[in-house]
């Protein structure tokens, strides 16, 4: 069957899909067509149920009643995750009164920061534009995701908050639930599980051939060095990516439990394959 897959122009996603999208890993059940868009665009498209399978922020799943979360392909940080950066150090109290650039209201980073410091004034912009916006003074601070978490100092910015460390300490060491992949419920659970296994094989293939998969992923390196992209990929493609397991599933459930308790997300039925 033909299915359309959405993934982000990010090296970790490309690394995961390397086997599948290059035909190194095949399935007798699926013919894949892929589209590439930034994560907040994919979040918005998923609200309209436009794609069969798509990467989304874990946060967006609170609003997706027509999709099931796959057990493979998740981006979970182990003690690290989004950070807040600024041109100079400041207190949390001042930060709460500042304008913070965020990569989208449906991103997990936004929900996690709200859980950490409460509601704050923000402006949405493309994630890759945030470091420059902070450096230029267009915003007071920025919520940074992807490789910006490890390259912010190149723009002489300082780290104010580490959301990943806060989550780890607040949950007894659970991984930080950032991105997941979802598949439309109209396929039925058996087909969803078949695709989940296909995707898992692609991830395992790439992890067994990191040099090849990294070379493929570099097309989404956004001008960063191979060393930087390698470091970024290794941060977010790990054993929890292959199979979220008990800890990954619990991390997702905790994210929404905390969000519901604070009135940041609605109550909903969480569907995990």
Q: Is 146 a catalytic residue?
A: yes
Q: Alpha-carbon distance 252 to 181, whole Å?
A: 13
For 216, other C-beta atoms within 10 Å of its C-beta total 20
Please pick, among 7, 29, 59, 146, the residue that the annotation labels catalytic: 146
Which segments within 71-200 are labelled E, that is strand? 75-77, 83-86, 99-102, 121-124, 141-144, 158-162, 176-184
Going by DSSP bridges, is the β-strand pair 53-57/141-144 parallel, antiparallel, or unpaired?
A: unpaired
Q: Alpha-carbon distance 131 to 87, whole Å?
A: 10
Q: Alpha-carbon distance 47 to 60, whole Å?
A: 8
> For residue 77, what are the contacts with CB-CB under 8 A and spacing of at least 6?
164, 167, 175, 176, 178, 235, 236
Q: Which residues carry out catalysis? A: 146
């Amino acid at each position: 069957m033909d299915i359309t897959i959405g993934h982000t122009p990010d090296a970790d996603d490309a690394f995961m899909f390397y086997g599948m999208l290059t035909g190194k890993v095949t399935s007798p059940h699926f013919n894949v067509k892929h589209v590439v868009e930034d994560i907040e665009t994919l979040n918005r498209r998923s609200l309209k149920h436009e794609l069969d399978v798509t990467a989304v922020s874990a946060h967006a799943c609170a609003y997706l009643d027509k999709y099931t979360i796959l057990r493979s392909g998740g981006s979970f940080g182990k003690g690290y995750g989004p950070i807040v950066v600024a041109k100079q150090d400041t207190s949390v109290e001042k930060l709460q009164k500042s304008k913070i650039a965020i990569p989208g209201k449906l991103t997990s980073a936004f929900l996690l920061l709200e859980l950490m410091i409460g509601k704050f004034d923000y402006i949405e912009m493309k994630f890759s534009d945030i470091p420059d916006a902070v450096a230029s003074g267009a915003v007071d601070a920025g919520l940074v995701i992807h490789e910006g978490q490890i390259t912010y100092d190149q723009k002489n910015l300082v780290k104010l908050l580490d959301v990943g460390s806060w989550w780890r300490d607040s949950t007894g060491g659970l991984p930080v639930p950032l991105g997941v992949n979802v598949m439309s419920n109209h396929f039925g659970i058996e087909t969803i599980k078949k695709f989940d296994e296909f995707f898992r094989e692609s991830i395992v293939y790439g992890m067994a051939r990191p040099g090849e998969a990294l070379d493929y992923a570099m097309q989404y390196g956004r001008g960063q060095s191979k060393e930087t992209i390698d470091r970024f990929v290794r941060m977010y493609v790990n054993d929890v990516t292959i199979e979220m397991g008990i800890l990954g599933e619990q991390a997702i459930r905790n994210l929404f439990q905390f969000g519901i308790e604070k009135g940041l997300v609605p109550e909903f039925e969480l569907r995990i394959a």
